[in-house]
Structure 1
Amino acid sequence: MGFFAPEPEPMAPDELIALPVRERLRILNTAWVKDGFNTPRMLHMVYIVKMLGLYFALGLAITAWTSSTVEFTDPMSWFTQIVTYQKLAVWLMFLEVVGLAGAFGPLCGHFA
């Protein structure tokens, strides 16, 4: 599967319809197992960047900026201070309310 473009379909729709049902199922199931939704790998990278950048890094930066006991460059302070968990929970709720944390696109079954 390509990074920017999906793989081509296993066969033309007209040829697929002409086949018996069991053969169509075999072809489509094989394509599903091999390619999944057949989405480009770029969409997977968008999800990873979104989770690491928006959820984790920005949430910890805001937590460190708004409290004196948590340092952004000291990971040990992230885990030992309860305020970190509280502020990250509020941050994730804020992202859900605004609509930035929800899933989007074909990786979550949203099709046009």
Structure 2
Amino acid sequence: MVITLLVSALLVAAAALTVLVFGLYNVAGNRQHFQPVHSMLEYAMQQSVRARARDIAVPDVASDGKVERGALCYQQKCVQCHGGPGVAASDFGQSMQPIPGP
């Protein structure tokens, strides 16, 4: 049983290495990832942010206009690709690969 699991793990690792070494997986920016790859990358991103955001103290921004400046900056530079509350991403943003998250 243990030998079967070890051999299986080695075969999976060899297959993954073959895909990487010979460039068999298309990582071009004009193609979506396969769903399992997309899900794995999305999960990795969420876990990475969660691990690094733990120790960040939330600043008091209510009184110094940072929220308003941030909203204006987002409206001018981000909403075209990511959309916003009640605003869909532009055609340009929707045509990007991978599609920008909300």
TM-score, normalised to structure 1, is 0.27
Highest CA radius of gyration, 1 or 2?
1
TM-score, normalised to structure 2, is 0.28
The structure in which a higher percent of residues are helix is 1
Whose relative contact order is higher, 1 or 2, with alpha carbons under 8 Å and at least 6 apart? 2
